[in-house]
Structure 1
Amino acid sequence: MAGVPADDLIPDLTALIKAYDVRGLVPSQLDARVSRAIGAAFGDVVVHGGARPAAGSASRPVVVVGNDMRESGPELVAAFAGGLAARGVDVVRIGLCSTDGLYYASGALDVPGAMFTASHNPAEYNGIKLCRAGARPVGQDTGLAEVRDLTRTYLADGVPELPAQERGHVSDRDVLADYARFLRSLVDLGGIRPLKVVVDAGNGMGGHTVPAVLGTGAGLPALPLEIVPLYFELDGSFPNHEANPLEPENLRDLQAAVVEHGADIGLAFDGDADRCFVIDEHGDPVSPSAITALVGLREVERERAAGRDSIVIHNLITSQVVPDLLTAAGARAVRTRVGHSFIKAEMAAHEAVFGGEHSAHYYFRDFFFADTGMLAAMHVLAALGGQDAPLSALADAYMPYSASGEINSRVDDVPAARARVVQAYVTDEGAGAVEVDELDGLTVRHWDTTPRWWFNLRASNTEPLLRLNVEAQDEDIMEKVRDDVLTLVRAGVEKESE
């Protein structure tokens, strides 16, 4: 076939199409040719379910596609849509959107979706988050491996084209206002006290969605919120700072602005605006565990008022306060591995009302079991504006324990380092002195008797790193456990990577 690339022009798809999404450098790993092949493969594997598109069918399946503000987005979307259309799939392009905006469209329209974003990665990256109808995730074990294999075939042999009358059509639709109305229907902010809110969009999609949801940009009534915008201009080159609020240096402008403006709260969104970080009135970060507890209790209370039992999902390195408070409120707290695919699977399996992660991903049953930073932010605004105390006092009630945060150690021999910790805390402590599980890495708990503490030690999947999280009843105990474990982990030649 003329124009078909040689094998040496096919990128390493294992490095591009990963366990949970597509993510790579543009154009060396991801370009229009590759995007078209992925679109065709997604159409055949996920949309058609592995069956050959039905010839002469009166109706065609539909996929909704959106993109963030990265410069490469429109070209990649056009190519992806072309691949889908070639395989008999209609495409609805919703244009610029946040990832949770794409999830809304997939859920509301009940069709599969594709979001072109590289989230918080630098400007030279782009990627695709894929989902089935109803915003259900597509990962390595749920179709993505098959998409990767078929993409390789289509890059080698070319994308097969259906006859013109059987190809899909591409159309455009704006869903921003519908997305904003839907979120407002889930949290009522109309009756709260006036709040001054600084929002750092990091030149990402929060600059597109915040004016629509929290302002009047989508034609909705004004809320009692004064929004002070930081970096709302959509710019995929990220001229001010990386759109990754997980890194403390990327919060400094927001922290300073909150104090400068005398604001009640600060909100920071990542590039595709599916994660939200919260800053209190003093400019101090509020732990995502505290946000998980706060939002979880609000959702549990709503379920209880409706006479329903509730389940909340949390990953294993969120604070002990999360299961403590949720269980006391009558909910069932389900602990799961770190990673959005595990949270989403547990959310769906248990029909959980809410789920939270230490990385500031928050998941809602009423948002198609998907994650949305905006809805979490609205819950925090509702809780803050529904009472008179400042955010720092409100947050303190949800964080009574002391935590280390995640500490990374680069070690020469990960199994040997882990074995030293096991020897010291499991073998030498003796049976019954601690609780041990290996749900995700090694978790050692000494919580039922004083002094109360726990730690989790997880190996990186890609680097010779061990990740340590420690929590204890007070700062002194936390520091002792942290330092003792790090001494064992870092025995020998090591390099710390905080």
Structure 2
Amino acid sequence: MTVKFGTSGLRGLVSELRGPSVYTYTVAFARMLQDRGALKEGSKVYVGRDLRASSPDIAQLVHAAIAASGLVPVDCGVLPTPALALHASSENAPAIMVTGSHIPDDRNGLKFYRADGEIDKRDERDIIEIHAAMGNAVSSLSAVDAVRLGAEPSQGYIDRFLGFFEKGSLSGLRVGVYQHSSVARDIIVDVLRGLGAETVALGRAEHFIPVDTEALRQEDVALLKHWAAAEPLDAIVSTDGDGDRPLVADADGSFVRGDLVGAITAHFLSADCVVTPVSSNSSLERCGYFARVVRTRVGSPYVIEGIATALAEGGKCVVGFEANGGVLLGSPVEKGGRTLPALQTRDSVLPILCMLSAIAKTGRPLAEIAADFRFLAGASGRLEGVPTENSASFLGKLASDAAYAGEIFAALGGVADIDNRDGVRITAHNGEVVHFRASGNAPELRCYVEAKAESRADELLDWGLSLGRAQILES
């Protein structure tokens, strides 16, 4: 079975999700909340979905499982994950998003939300235990009539931003919107136009495109460059499939890495503390913009834990973000007499608006604003089709065998530091960084690198992927 929890939700092959698996995991989620007294008979559970071909069928299974649990499924239709989370929390109700986020169309998944936000790792363990005890016991896989909502959740999400950013604040900007198959593709246009920007719709697709903001496909890189060369644009923006990770490119069509998007966003919001995984750029601690940087394992549940710790320790304005650019607003933000409430789930529209607002406010191009943060050049890639056990063997040896690691990294001057917080992140004596970790969502080995120049980062990434491939094949 491929169905399992990763860094952000339940994922698996569509062929396995279209059946008892999704149904029983949904029942396990409902039972966990019922056992804790968080749900009573007849309570509502809000359900949304992305634009994958498989998502409507899987949503029907979710509706059936909710109804079989004595609860009321509320169909919110197609909308961004943060819009669903925002609406459900305003109703003090749990939610389930049917989405595989950025992974290929032959896969899909579920993201679970308690009334107070994303489930955490303890919740995951409880759901897995309840599911294991249930087996594949299914009451009924037939469709049920869910309560249907209209545009209310999406409109509430739009109003969140139009009520915080000043009217006309993006006037004069011309922004390309790479729409592909993102559930946020129309919402982004509506918000940008509502703030005065001129928008140009680009690349709208009727089939699902797996845009991964942490490892862009070469065709996406080429498209960004092509669109930027074709007409004057201040930036090109987009999101992943479910609208919780931003994609931002500058006026030349050069992709701005997600951790830099997060840093620019946090600085624009005047954050005194940022919380981010170990995979984010190591220059965050050196850029001088933040009083405190808290590092976590990879995954939004860990970032949320870090945010809670930072707030408990006196953080005033705490912003979390991941290397994929998804921003979690840990505390309310006030600007110009307006307040933006906290939303501790990954969001794409907030960082997009902060990046564009920085351009409008300073009158400087995005490339110059980004350069101020003095980030090391970064690159990331992945080896697909790598079984989890093969990745574990390679990473375990790299972390525990100093002689082995030293021999491998001799070409970089040897190992200066090893961080085993999540995967194996090695800082070489020459200052370069190579970080290997197994994906929590798919059979992949991911590689992240940092170097002083982009050309060297590309070389280092090729070296890291070749190294990983060779070592895994040997194992």
- Is TM (by shorter chain) over 0.5? yes
Matches of residues 253-332 of structure 1 in structure 2 within 5 Å? 253-299=223-269, 301=270, 310-325=272-287, 328-332=288-292
Is 2:86 aligned against 1:86? no
What displacement does 1:494 show? 7.0
Structure 2-normalised TM-score?
A: 0.80
**For residues 371 and 442 of structure 1, do their structure 2 counterparts lie closer, same or farther at Cα, with a shift above 3 Å needed?**
same
**For residues 470 and 231 of structure 1, do their structure 2 counterparts lie closer, same or farther at Cα, with a shift above 3 Å needed?**
closer
Is 2:159 aligned against 1:177? no
Report the Cα distance in structure 2 between the residues aligned to 1:464 and 1:43, rounded to whole angstroms. 28
**For residues 225 and 64 of structure 1, do their structure 2 counterparts lie closer, same or farther at Cα, with a shift above 3 Å needed?**
same
Q: 1:39 aligned to 4, 26, 32, which one? A: 26
Find the residue that maps to 2:17 and give its secondary structure. coil
> Identity over the aligned pairs, expressed in percent?
21
Contact 2:422-2:437 within 8 A present in 1 as well? no
Is 2:450 aligned against 1:471? yes
Report the Cα distance in structure 2 between the residues aligned to 1:490 and 1:93, rounded to whole angstroms. 44
Structure 1-normalised TM-score?
A: 0.76
What displacement does 1:400 show? 4.7
Contact 2:412-2:430 within 8 A present in 1 as well? no
Report the Cα distance in structure 1 between the residues aligned to 2:98 and 2:461, rounded to whole angstroms. 42
Find the residue that maps to 1:88 and give its secondary structure. coil
Q: 2:406 aligned to 423, 426, 438, which one? A: 423
Find the residue that maps to 1:333 and give its secondary structure. strand
Matches of residues 132-151 of structure 1 in structure 2 within 5 Å? 132-138=114-120, 141-151=121-131
Contact 2:274-2:318 within 8 A present in 1 as well? yes
Kindly provide the amino acid, as one letter, of the partner of residue 324 in structure 2. Answer: S
Structure 2: runs of 5+ lacking an equivalent: 312-316, 331-340
**For residues 156 and 192 of structure 1, do their structure 2 counterparts lie closer, same or farther at Cα, with a shift above 3 Å needed?**
closer
Is 2:222 aligned against 1:242? no
What displacement does 1:314 show? 1.9
What displacement does 1:160 show? 9.4
Contact 1:267-1:276 within 8 A present in 2 as well? yes
What displacement does 1:372 show? 0.4
Contact 1:441-1:457 within 8 A present in 2 as well? yes
Matches of residues 442-453 of structure 1 in structure 2 within 5 Å? 442-445=424-427, 453=431
Q: Deviations over 1:158-215 (max 9, x none)?
A: 4399xxxxx9984535311111001233433622441111111212212232233223
Report the Cα distance in structure 2 between the residues aligned to 1:401 and 1:231, rounded to whole angstroms. 31
**For residues 156 and 491 of structure 1, do their structure 2 counterparts lie closer, same or farther at Cα, with a shift above 3 Å needed?**
closer
Q: Deviations over 1:332-370 (max 9, x none)?
A: 111122222322221233236212222222221244211
Report the Cα distance in structure 2 between the residues aligned to 1:425 and 1:190, rounded to whole angstroms. 54
Kindly provide the amino acid, as one letter, of the partner of residue 450 in structure 2. Answer: E
Match of 1:23 in 2: 11
State the superposition RMSD in angstroms: 3.9
Q: Deviations over 1:251-295 (max 9, x none)?
A: 422331122121110012111111111111111112223212211
Kindly provide the amino acid, as one letter, of the partner of residue 242 in structure 1. Answer: P
Kindly provide the amino acid, as one letter, of the partner of residue 471 in structure 1. Answer: E
Matches of residues 380-459 of structure 1 in structure 2 within 5 Å? 380-406=355-381, 414=394, 415-416=396-397, 419=401, 420=403, 422-424=405-407, 434-445=416-427, 453-459=431-437
Matches of residues 349-368 of structure 1 in structure 2 within 5 Å? 349-351=309-311, 353-365=318-330, 366-368=341-343
Report the Cα distance in structure 2 between the residues aligned to 1:77 and 1:493, rounded to whole angstroms. 41
Contact 2:300-2:345 within 8 A present in 1 as well? no
Report the Cα distance in structure 1 between the residues aligned to 2:457 and 2:60, rounded to whole angstroms. 52
Structure whose alpha-carbon radius of gyration is higher:
1
What displacement does 1:66 show? 0.9
Match of 1:7 in 2: none
Matched residue count: 444
Report the Cα distance in structure 2 between the residues aligned to 1:196 and 1:38, rounded to whole angstroms. 45
Find the residue that maps to 1:127 and give its secondary structure. strand
Structure 1: runs of 5+ lacking an equivalent: 1-11, 162-166, 216-221, 304-309
What displacement does 1:16 show? 1.2
Q: 1:120 aligned to 99, 102, 112, which one? A: 102
Kindly provide the amino acid, as one letter, of the partner of residue 122 in structure 2. Answer: T
Matches of residues 71-82 of structure 1 in structure 2 within 5 Å? 71-82=53-64
Report the Cα distance in structure 2 between the residues aligned to 1:430 and 1:34, rounded to whole angstroms. 49
What displacement does 1:493 show? 6.8
Match of 1:188 in 2: 166
Contact 1:177-1:212 within 8 A present in 2 as well? no
Contact 1:288-1:358 within 8 A present in 2 as well? yes
Q: 2:187 aligned to 209, 213, 226, which one? A: 209
Report the Cα distance in structure 2 between the residues aligned to 1:37 and 1:261, rounded to whole angstroms. 50
Kindly provide the amino acid, as one letter, of the partner of residue 293 in structure 1. Answer: A
Report the Cα distance in structure 2 between the residues aligned to 1:267 and 1:147, rounded to whole angstroms. 36
Contact 2:381-2:448 within 8 A present in 1 as well? yes
Q: Deviations over 1:43-97 (max 9, x none)?
A: 1112x1356986xx6xx43221111123333333233223222322233321111
Report the Cα distance in structure 2 between the residues aligned to 1:475 and 1:171, rounded to whole angstroms. 49
**For residues 358 and 157 of structure 1, do their structure 2 counterparts lie closer, same or farther at Cα, with a shift above 3 Å needed?**
closer
Which range is displaced more, 331-340 or 412-421?
Answer: 412-421
Contact 1:421-1:488 within 8 A present in 2 as well? no
